[in-house]
Amino acid sequence: MKVGVLALQGAFAAHSSVLEQLGVATTEVRLAEQLADVDALVLPGGESTTISMIAQRTGLWDPLNAFVRSGRPVLGTCAGLILLAAEVLDGRSDQTSLGALDVSVRRNAFGRQLASFEMDVPVVGLDEPFHAVCIRAPAVERLGDGVEVLAEVDGHPALVRQGAMMGAIFHPELADDPRLHELFLAG
């Protein structure tokens, strides 16, 4: 199994190192032909508007759209979750999302950079709580029927799963703890 990490902008390098730590073959994805070569994909945190604009400019948007609808495992964290969401509630007017994960998210719901915070949260499938690092995190404000909540922050969904897709409002790659990536890869 080879896992691709979308490497257009944002926190992709930290995801790659967690995956490498787990002994998983990992590749940075910037081109359609690199995407064609992976079995699972991580969409990192960063700036969702920037990531989507670069993907459109480089011709990666349509292949990404096809990939996230193919049933293959996809993990979207923070901006990556925004990219996966069916609806972005306060996105920029020119912002597009892939729309594969049936949730509505509000960007920067917890405020700007100053409102970033960290807390330990219980996660369905993990024995011990996970350290959730939230940086200008989006909030999940609507859950589609097929969407399961695996963790909450402050009573709001923080980690969700729909089939092989997972979305986190936090940055699991910054927790110095590979368990969330393991959970993702375990399916």
Contact segment (CB under 6 A) with ligand GLN among 27-35, 121-129, 132-140, 145-153 equals 132-140
Q: Which segment (16-24, 76-84, 124-132, 158-166) binds ligand GLN by CB under 6 A? A: 76-84
Among residues 3, 18, 68, 79, which is the contact residue for ligand GLN, using CB under 6 A?
79
Please list, in sequence order, all residues whose beta carbon lies within 8 angstroms of the beta carbon of residue 120, skipping any fewer than 6 positions away. 129, 130, 131, 132
> If you write DSSP's letter for every residue of 88-157 in order, what string do you get?
ETT--TT------EEEEEETTTT-SGGG-EEEEE--TT-SS-EEEEESS--EEEEE-TT-EEEEEETTEE
Tokens of 83: 């990219």
Helix (H) / strand (E) containing 65: helix 61-68
Q: Rounded to whole angstroms, how far apart are CA atoms 76 and 2?
A: 17
Interface mask (CB under 6 A) for ligand GLN, residues 138-177, using x and -?
x---------------------------------------
Q: Kindly tell me which of 14 and 82 has the beta carbon lying closer to ligand GLN.
A: 82
With CB under 6 A as the contact rule, the residue among 107, 110, 160, 175 that binds ligand GLN is 107
Catalytic annotation, pick one of 78, 118, 128, 156: 78
Gap between the Cα atoms of 172 and 184, Å rounded: 11
* Nearer CB in complex with ligand GLN: 29/88: 88
Catalytic residue set:
78, 171, 173
Residues interacting with ligand GLN, by CB under 6 A? 45-48, 78-79, 82, 107-108, 135-136, 138
